[in-house]
Structure 1
Amino acid sequence: MPEIERLTVTMPAEMAAVVKQAVESGDYASTSEVVRAALRDWKLKRTLQLDELTALKVDIDAGLADVAAGRVTTFDAARIVERGRKLLADRSPSA
Structure 2
Amino acid sequence: MATRNIVLTNHQSQVVDHLVASGRYQNASEVLRAGLRMVEEAESRYATKMNELRAAIDAGQTDLEAGRTRTFTADQFATYLSERAEHAIREKRDT
As a proportion of its length, which structure holds more helix? 2
Structure 1 unaligned segments of length 5 or more: list them.
Answer: none
Partner of 1:30: 27
Equivalent position amino acid for 1:52 in 2? K
Partner of 2:38: 41
Deviation at 1:15, TM superposition (A): 1.1
Structure 2 unaligned segments of length 5 or more: list them.
Answer: none
Partner of 2:70: 73
SS of the counterpart of 2:5? coil
Deviation at 1:16, TM superposition (A): 1.0
Equivalent position amino acid for 1:49 in 2? Y
Partner of 1:53: 50
Equivalent position amino acid for 2:13 in 1? A
**TM norm structure 2:** 0.75
Deviation at 1:11, TM superposition (A): 1.8
Partner of 2:8: 11
**TM norm structure 1:** 0.75
Partner of 1:62: 59
Deviation at 1:9, TM superposition (A): 1.1
For the aligned residue pairs, the C-alpha RMSD in angstroms reads: 2.3
Q: Greater relative contact order (Cα 8 A, min sep 6): structure 1 or 2?
A: 1
Equivalent position amino acid for 1:40 in 2? R
CA distance in 2, matches of 1:8, 1:28: 19
Matched residue count: 84
